[in-house]
Every structure is written in C-alpha cells, then in structure tokens.
Chains A and B, each alone.
Chain A
Amino acid sequence: MILVWKDIQNFTFYLSSWIGDSMSIKITAPFNKELLKSLRAGDQVMISGVVFSARDAAHKRIHNALINGEELPISLKDITIYYMGPSPAGPGRVIGSAGPTTSGRMDSYTPALLDRGMVAMIGKGYRSPKVKESIKKNGAVYFGAVGGAGALLSKTISAAECIAYPDLGAEAIYRLELNDFPAFVIIDANGTDLYGETTCE
C-alpha cells in the first residue's frame, strides 16, 4: 500500500489528538484543595462531577445576600462556579448551548465568594489583581474553557437542574453534571496566571 500525503496528515492528526487526550488531567468536582494545589497554569484538564452555573445577575443577588446577612440558596463550601448562561434546551436535551461567559464581569464579587468557601471557577478571559490575590490566599483555581464553543461544551453536560433564582431565566443558578468537560488551568493555586500580568480592570 502506498502511503499518500493525506494518510500521513490523518495519522498525525489522530496521533496529536490522542496525545492531546493523554495529556489532559481528569479531575472530579467538588475538588479538594490538595488536588487543586497540584495543578499548574497551562495544564489541560477534563472536568467531571458537579458544578453550579452563575453569571452577572445571580452574583449580584448572592453578593447582596452576603452583605445583608441573609441565607444563601446554595452553600458555597467547596463549590465550583461556572460562569455561564445557557441557551434554552431544545426538545430531548438537558441544556442548550453552554459555553463560558467573560469572567472579569464577576471580579468585584469573587473574593467574597472565595472567602466563603468557593474553590474553583470556570470562565473565559482575564481576572483582576484582587481576584488573583484572593485565589492565591484561598488556594483556589481559575479554569478557562473555550469561549464560543457552546455546542461542543453542551455535549459534556449530562444533567442540568435549576436550583435558585428561576426568575432570572438563563441567568438562574443551575446544578450541572459534567463529563470530561475540557478546560485549561488559567490561574493556579499559587496565583500564577497563564495570561501573564495582563489584566482587564
């Protein structure tokens, strides 16, 4: 058999995707801090387990509840928050398109949540110096998923249940079950930032 150029290309493609997979670290949420400490900025991970979605409006409510000393609809202890507001689930699906939103908009609320027990976040884009500091102080991790890959990422979500603020629609808090959700460690527990010192204040 003659090996044509296309075969070689295909072979290297499969090889690289296999290597890509084998290089990913499989981790399961809720995370313990020992595991989070072992991750380094730039690591590729596949996240399984339970995380909670929350974006702008839900953060504002949680933050107001914290300030006013009101009871929260979810315990923040050991949770991972995914900054995401899905599109509606089509017929026979658990969720619609479900990629990350820009994390920086949550920066002003984040340190308070980390101090109350949140251990990890999944989003996209830069974080402020204050968030980085708080991540380091609390031994937390900030993961980045690929922005605009909502259809692909939705395939790794096997269950979604609205557990708080249903009136917020796409911005409500959902309990999500993930199966090999692909992400990168952007800021590790030492405060090292894959994006360097770039920040968006």
Chain B
Amino acid sequence: MREIEVAVVTQNIKEMCIEANHFLSRDMIDCLHSAKETETNSLGRQVLEQLNQNLEIAGKEMIPICQDTGMAVVFVELGQEVRVVGGSLNEAINEGVRQGYREGYLRNSVVNDPLKRINTNDNTPAVIHYEITCSDKITMTLAPKGFGSENMSRLFMLKPSDGYKGVIDAVITAVREAGANACPPLVIGVGIGGTFEKCAYLSKKALTRPVNEMSAISHISQLEEELLAEINKLGIGAGGLGGKYTALKVNIETYPTHIAGLPVAVNIGCHVNRHVTRTL
C-alpha cells in the first residue's frame, strides 16, 4: 500500500482553490478569446472584450475572476492501493478549502443550514464526490461552483419515447430560462441516464471536461454539436445582450439507465468555468 499524508492533500487543495479562482484552463481561455474575435454583434462583442480583459487582470493582479468564488466541489478518484495516513481525508480536503479561501482572499459563500442561513465563514463544507479506482494514486479535481449559473440548472425525468428530441427540448428549455441570469456565454454540462442523483452528478462532472474535447461516443458527440448549434440560435449572446455565443460548449456524459426512464440533467456553467486537477 502506498501511503499519502493528509497534510499533502490539504496543501494541494489549498493551492487548487487559489489557482482555480484566478486562472482558467488554457482551453477555456482560448475559447473565450476566439469568441471575442468572431462575435459580430456589437454589444455581445463588448461583453466578450470585457471578459477577456477581466481574465488578464485576474491573473496578473491576483484578483479573483469573479466575486462569487463558489462552493467548492471536489471529485476524488481514490486508488484502492492508497492508504491515507495522519487523519481523515474528508477533513483534510475541508481544511484545504478553509486555508485556500482564507489565504487567497476568496469569498465565503456557504451557509450552515439552507433555511437558517448562517455563514460558516470559511467556505466549508466542500461537496466531495468519491470514486474508487484501481491505482495507487489520488486524483482530485476541484471545481468551485458559482450560484448565478447553478440556480438555473434543471433535472428532467423524461420518458424513453422522448428520445433525442426530448433531450434537445429539455436542454433548450433550461438554457432559455437561464438566459442572461446565468452569465453567458455558458458551458453546459449534461447528464443523460443513470438514476435521478447519478444523472445530476454526471452533469456536474461533464463541466470539468475540457471544452476542446468531444465525447468519445460518436452519437453523443454529434448530439453535443447539434445542441450547441441549437442553443446558439437562441440569440441570448454574451451577457444576454445578443450575438451568437450563448454557449461555448456542450459536454454530455452518459450512463446506463432503467428500462422505464430517461433522466436528463442540465448543469448550467457560466463563462468562469473553473476547475483544476492534480494527481498525488
């Protein structure tokens, strides 16, 4: 068994919180840049210019890209040949979030109880998803999620007979309702299949796939293309002020499902589609 100290996990999560909130991944930067270059709508283009300038300022001056530095979502792939030593893995991750948000001057946006609503003042707890893999490594993806876009996300329990058209209608419905509120240009994470909760999980996971990568399943990558084209016909545009970039990318993840169902989850991501992955 390979041993990994919890202190190493904490240190990495801390750094990942700060990195994710100040720098987008190369694929997102390129995508936003190319949108700015090719947008012809004048208001939409000005919004895209501001977004590109914003990214530059954020990285150079270490000011978070967005003031909503999100709720920390962490996907952990835990190798079954790893023994975590020195404490609890859960607590190590939360401690990393606590330190990262404090030392990185990130906003504490988490309340302790959804109805009583008292701020926890350290942005914990994180939302942590574990998956066990056959390896001796831990891979962690940290994706701080802002709620302007999260609030506009939807889950639909379709009938199997709804098929492709049903999926397209569901995604378009969610994006149309999200509109300007969700900070377009959007990245759309779609989960299809599984059960109610698995489907929602898939849609969140889909947001962490690079925007220059299509699904490896051919009919799904076709659906990704078709959906992007349909969404961009809506004309909502960057900032909701018009143009052809309502969305930058649609990422779909699928899973086998029940003979009676066709769950579809649409996790709306804003243009600050933040995620950092590290392997220990």
Binds B, one of A31-39, A95-103, A112-120, A131-139: A95-103
> Using an 8 Å CB-CB cutoff, how does the interface string of A98-110 with B read, 1 for contact, 0 for none?
1101101000000
Looking at the complex, which one of B108, B109, B271 makes contact with A148 (CB distance below 8 Å)? B271
Shortest Cβ distance from residue B119 to the other chain A in the assembled complex, whole angstroms: 6
Instruction: With a 10 A CB-CB cut-off, give which of A149, A152, A198 has the most chain B CB atoms.
Output: A149
Shortest Cβ distance from residue B12 to the other chain A in the assembled complex, whole angstroms: 22
Q: How far apart are the CA atoms of A146 and B240 in the complex, in Å?
A: 9
Q: Are A124 and B148 in contact (CB under 8 A)?
A: yes
Q: Are B107 and A87 in contact (CB under 8 A)?
A: yes
Q: Does B47 contact A (CB under 8 A)?
A: yes
Interface size, chain A (Cβ < 8 Å): 42
* Cβ-closest chain A residue relative to B180: A125
Q: Are B270 and A148 in contact (CB under 8 A)?
A: yes
Q: Does A150 contact B (CB under 8 A)?
A: yes
Instruction: With a 10 A CB-CB cut-off, give which of A98, A99, A151, A170 has the most chain B CB atoms.
Output: A151
Q: Does B66 contact A (CB under 8 A)?
A: yes
Looking at the complex, which one of A98, A144, A198 makes contact with B239 (CB distance below 8 Å)? A144
Q: Are B64 and A152 in contact (CB under 8 A)?
A: no
Binds A, one of B55-63, B154-162, B211-219: B55-63
Q: Are B239 and A147 in contact (CB under 8 A)?
A: yes
Q: Does B241 contact A (CB under 8 A)?
A: yes
Instruction: With a 10 A CB-CB cut-off, give which of B180, B239, B241, B270 has the most chain A CB atoms.
Output: B180
Q: Does A191 contact B (CB under 8 A)?
A: no
> Using an 8 Å CB-CB cutoff, how does the interface string of A77-88 with B read, 1 for contact, 0 for none?
000000011111
Q: Are B63 and A97 in contact (CB under 8 A)?
A: yes
Instruction: With a 10 A CB-CB cut-off, give which of B49, B148, B177, B270 has the most chain A CB atoms.
Output: B148
* Cβ-closest chain B residue relative to A153: B54
**Assuming the A-B contacts A169-B108, A184-B43, are A151 and B179 also in contact, with contact meaning beta carbons closer than 8 angstroms in the complex?**
no
Q: How far apart are the CA atoms of A178 and B63 in the complex, in Å?
A: 18
Q: Are A152 and B121 in contact (CB under 8 A)?
A: no
**Assuming the A-B contacts A87-B67, A97-B65, A102-B151, are A149 and B51 also in contact, with contact meaning beta carbons closer than 8 angstroms in the complex?**
yes
Looking at the complex, which one of B53, B69, B240 makes contact with A195 (CB distance below 8 Å)? B240
Q: Does B50 contact A (CB under 8 A)?
A: yes
Q: Are A97 and B179 in contact (CB under 8 A)?
A: no
User: Top 6 A-B pairs ranked by shortest CB distance?
Assistant: A125-B181, A147-B183, A151-B58, A97-B67, A152-B54, A97-B64
Q: Which residues of B contact A (CB under 8 A)?
A: 43, 46-47, 49-51, 53-55, 57-58, 61-69, 105-109, 117, 119, 121, 146, 148, 151, 177, 179-183, 239-241, 270-272
